Amino acid sequence: MVDPACAPIDPEVPFALFQHRGTRAIQRMVEYAPSTGGLALWVQHQDVSDDDAQRIERGASSKAPAPPVTTDGYTIRYSAAFDALPLPEQVGWVAHEVLHIALRHAQRFLDLQHRLGDADLQLFNLCADAIVNSTLDHLSWLQLPAKAVTIDQLLAAEVGMQKNVEAALLEWDVERLYRAIDDRRPQERGGKRDGPRAASVRALGRTDQADLKPAADTREAPEKGAEQAREWSERIARAHANDGEFSMLRTLIADVPSTHTPWEQVLRTQLARSLAPKRDISWSRPSRSYLANQGRAGSSRRMPWEPGFSSSKASPRLVVIVDVSGSIDDTLMQRFACEVEAIVRRLEAALVLVIGDEQVQQVTRFEPARAVRGGSGLRDIVFQGGGGTDFTPLLEEADGHRPDIGVVLTDLDGPAYFRPRWPVIWAVPEAHGAAHAPFGRKLVLR
C-alpha cells in the first residue's frame, strides 16, 4: 500500500476533495511529529452537518449532546462546532481520534460486547479516553479538552492504585481497565445498575466528549480484524521509533492492538494439513522422470526403476467429538459448525460425529462431499450441561473409525485415559481457556 503522504496527487482530482475541517490540525501534527502525526493520513475524514451529527448522537444516546468530533473506528467526522475551537484544541481532538482509530478502540468494544454479551459503551469510552489522553498529555503544541480524564487519575480514584502515567500505560490496556471499573449489577426489571466504581467513573466524564460511535453492523470478520490489528501495530511501532522524543505517544503503550490469530484460521490450517489428499506410490507404473531419463540414456543402458505416484483412493476422515456436558453457547456452536462444514466439503473428507459425556450417546457418519447440514448435523446438537465427562470412551469410539485427525469440542472438565495415535485438537470456549489439555493441541474459541 502506498503511503498517502508520498502518493502523487492526481491533477484531474479537484484539490477541494482533500480539504476538510481537520486539515489545519493535521498539518500542525505532521509539522511537530512527522511520523506519529502522519498516522492521520491512514484514516478517512468527513465533514458532517449539524443535523447529521445529531442523528449520529441520537443513535447512541438521546440525552447526550454531540461532540465536535466523533469516530466509528474508520472515519473521523467533524461537526460545525469543530470550526469554533481554537487551533491547539482542534489538534488535540484530531490527535485523540487518530489514536482511537490506530488503537482500534471501536472494533475492540464490539469484540468485548460480543464476548461478554453486555458492555457499556460510555464506560468503555471513558477508559479509552483515559489511555489516549495520557499518551498526549505531555505535548505542549496541542490542547486536550477541559476535564480530560487520564489513566493515573482513573486508577487512583476508582481502583485505589497509585501509579505514574508511564508505568500505568505500560501495564493497562483498555479491556483490563474496563473490567476493573465495570461493577454494574443486574436489576430485577432488566438491565444493570451502576456499582460504586461505575457510577464514579461515569461522573468523571463529560457527556459532550463521548466520541466513540461504533456501528453494531461493522464488526469485522476474525481474519480481517487480525490483519488490521497487525497493520496498525506495525504503523504505531514504526512511527513511534521515527519520532523519538517528539512522538505523540508518551511511551509504546500496552494498549497497542494485539495480533491474535483467529481460531477459525488455526483450525482451518490444522485440518487442511491433515486431511489434504495424499499420493500413494505405485510400483506398477514408472515416474515421469524415469521415462524422460530412459529416453535420454538410450536402449543400451538400463536405469534403476523409479516408481510413479497415484492418487489415494481412501478419502481423508475427520472425527468430531462433542462433549454435551460442556458449556457451549449456540452462537459459538454455529461458528464452529460452519467452519467444520466448509472444511469437510472443500476437502471432500468423511466426517464421523461422536456425541457423549461419560459415555457415547450417538455416532453419526457423513460421506465425503455430503453437506453436514440438516438432520443430526453439528448445528442440531442440543447441549444438556451440568453432567460429568469422561473422554476415554469417546476417544476409543473415535479411534475405531481410524481418523486422520480429531477435534474435541469441550470445556476440558474430565479425564482422558486413552491417548490415540492420530493428532487431537481440543476446541475450548474462552471461558475455559485456562484449562489444561491432557495431550494434543488446545485451541481457544474466542
Burial (CB < 10 A; 0-12, 13-18, 19+), residue 192, is middle
- Top-confidence residue, 156 or 242: 242
CA distance 126 to 198: 10
Give the mean model confidence (pLDDT) for residues 66-76.
Answer: 91
| pLDDT of res. 1 | 42
pLDDT, mean of residues 299-322: 75
Q: Which residue has the cell 491533477?
A: 11
How crowded is residue 316: how many other Cβ atoms within 10 Å of its Cβ?
22
Q: Count other Cβ atoms within 10 Å, centred on residue 206.
A: 16
User: Measured in whole angstroms, how far is the alpha carbon of residue 156 from the centre of its chain?
Assistant: 30
Q: How far apart are CA 139 and CA 88, in angstroms?
A: 11
Sign of the Cα pseudo-torsion (380, 382, 383, 388, in order): negative
| Contact (CB, 8 A) for 205 and 126 | yes
Q: CA separation (Å) from 167 to 161, 163, 253, 366, 406? A: 12, 6, 9, 56, 45
Q: How confident is the model at residue 286 (pLDDT cuts 50, 70, 90)?
A: confident
Helices 222-243, 87-102: inter-axial angle, 10-degree rounding: 130
Q: How far is CA 390 from the centre of its chain?
A: 32
Residue that wins the pLDDT comparison between 425 and 343: 425
What are the tens digits of pLDDT across the range 17-65? 458 999 999 999 999 999 999 999 999 999 998 666 666 655 554 455 6
Per residue in 388-414, pLDDT (tens digit) is 788 999 999 999 999 989 998 888 888
State how far the Cα of 286 lies from the Cα of 306, in Å rounded to an integer: 6
Average pLDDT over residues 130-155: 91
The pLDDT, as a whole number, for residue 266 is 75
Say what the pLDDT of residue 31 is. Answer: 95
Task: Write out the DSSP string of 227-275.
Answer: HHHHHHHHHHHHHHHHHGGG-SSSS--TTSPP-PPPHHHHHHHHHHHHH
What pLDDT is stored for residue 4 in this prediction? 44
Give CA–CA dist 95/169, Å, rounded: 17
Q: How far is CA 377 from CA 159, 337, 359, 363, 396, in A?
A: 48, 8, 19, 11, 21
Q: Which of 243, 214, 234, 46 is nearest to 135 (CA)?
A: 243
Cβ contacts of 251 within 8 Å, gap of 6 or more:
135, 166, 169, 170
CB atoms within 10 A of CB 74: 15
Alpha-helix residue ranges (DSSP H) falling in 69-104: 87-102
pLDDT at 75: 94
Q: Which residue type, as a one-letter code, is found at position 230?
A: R
